[in-house]
Structure 1
Amino acid sequence: MLRIAICDDEQEAVESHKKAVEAALGLLRAVGEMITYTSSDNLFCDIVEDGFHFDLILLDIEMPGRTGMELAEQLRPVLPHVKIIFITSHVEYAIDAYELSIFRYVPKNDEGKKLFNALTDAIGLLMLEDGKVYTIQTSSRLEKIPYREIYFIERDGKNASITWEKGVSKVRGSLQQIYEELASEEFIFIDRGCIVNLIHVMQVKNSMVLLENGASLPISRSHLQGVKEQINTYWGMHI
């Protein structure tokens, strides 16, 4: 079940956004629990002090107390995978929203279809990420790594290293073997020695892939066109 928070200091806006979330959940046949807030401070306290978890947060930027921008920055270390959709009437915030890795920015004066599309994209991606794990098992250890937490996998001599949310885990086996074990379309080769998780790709520029965790990885010349096509196909199919 997805946990979704809606925060806007205007109750009318909260109710409107709630209906949009319900419509998106219905379209995707997803199950979600919603909690609504008219105070950013209350949302902050529930998450930071009481340990509430959310997969998706809809945030108004212009609010009394903590602004949506301030709240997003403060929540990122606590909920590193949360998807945040900003809703605001001030266009100039879009650049700052990008710098905070905000999932989507929706202007208030044009929120109808754009908000619904943003919600279906976010919920669709969350459903795609949910539940898959890669298991590393040896005689001395058993480790399960959620797919959604894997950023990239690199060749490490005759073995491999998985860079994920909690650090780096070593795996015995070739990259090709691990790729086949993952058996999931969100993982692609960008070089003979590197696999990336498309879920975390933020940008492809100048033969480099920029990931959500700040990593910048080179794409080999022979893989460049294929990588671009795979990314376009992947997002076209899923969001």
Structure 2
Amino acid sequence: MKKETIKILICDDDDLNLGINERCVEIISKREDKEILIYSFREPNEDMMSLIESNQIEIALLDIELEHEDGLAIAKRLQNKNPRIPIIFITGHEEYKGDAWNIMAIGYIEKPVNLEKFDLLFTRALALVENEKKRKFLELLDIVVNKKHIQIRLSNIISVEKVLRKVELHTSRGKYTASGTLNEIVERLGTGFIKINQSVVVNRDKILSIDSTTVYLANGEQHIIGRTYIKQVRNACKNHRLGS
């Protein structure tokens, strides 16, 4: 598998702690030979919520105590989008430990940050992300083509399109015309795919670029973005590394 950028959210309302967390993440990621992209926030805002909604964050480090919305609430938002996301809580208070475990975080770090524990938990988070990527890469979609069941690797699918009463799947290995409805297939594709109009769903990893009206895919396909889908598509692609 090619090396992919791991997107990391850090939220801490203390500038010093925020800087320490960023530096620790950078040092450990470099040692583990991981390419990362850090999104840092001092408090929840519209940009952070848009980032969460786009479902691009793969690891989160959250201060539990924030002025406007605590880290536990942010963690629940992230888990609603991705139940498998590794979350590490950072707290200066013992009483929050139980809350952290209830959220199913992989661990918590007390302030001031213990570098050894930070290393242990963040390295574990990187491993979990890597395992999840491998799982998704190997995941298969079962479809019916000419009354025969065949399986297609999700990572090979470029786009799925509704054509009359059939569904066409465009893949890196060719085109398949399957029985069933677009919605039935979409339900089994997972979060790596996005609907761009009423008839077309595309694999995020196969998007080369977008403009105000069109999505351009790795196989040369171009699809018009439906008017009611423009904001959703832009948010999904805004924080996704296109053409990777």
Q: Specify the TM-score bucket, using the shorter chain as the normaliser.
A: 0.5 to 0.7
Distance apart, 1:106 and its partner CA: 0.9
Matching residue of 2:75: 72
| Matches of 1:7 and 1:31, distance apart in 2 | 20
CA displacement, residues 34-77 of structure 1 (integer Å, 9 cap, x when unaligned):
1111112346422355x251000110011110000121123211
Matching residue of 2:200: none
Q: 1:48 to 1:123 in 2, by over 3 A?
A: closer
Matching residue of 2:26: 22
| Matches of 2:116 and 2:20, distance apart in 1 | 12
Normalised by the length of structure 1, the TM-score is 0.55
Q: Secondary structure at the match of 2:114?
A: helix
Matching residue of 1:81: 84
**Residue type of the alignment partner of 2:6:** L
Distance apart, 1:140 and its partner CA: 4.1
Q: Secondary structure at the match of 1:40?
A: coil
Number of equivalent positions: 147
The runs of 5 or more residues in structure 1 that have no matched partner are: 147-165, 168-239
Distance apart, 1:145 and its partner CA: 6.2
| Matches of 1:78 and 1:129, distance apart in 2 | 15
Q: 1:53 to 1:106 in 2, by over 3 A?
A: same
Matching residue of 1:185: none
6, 10, 30: which one aligns with 1:6: 10
Matching residue of 2:42: 38
The runs of 5 or more residues in structure 2 that have no matched partner are: 156-186, 189-244
**Residue type of the alignment partner of 2:84:** H
Normalised by the length of structure 2, the TM-score is 0.54
Greater CA deviation, 135-144 or 64-73?
135-144
Percent identity over the alignment is 23
Q: Secondary structure at the match of 1:29?
A: coil
CA displacement, residues 118-144 of structure 1 (integer Å, 9 cap, x when unaligned):
111111221233233133556245454
Spell out structure 1 runs of 4+ moving beyond 3 A. Answer: 41-44, 140-146
**Contact kept in structure 2, 1:58 and 1:87, CA below 8 Å:** yes
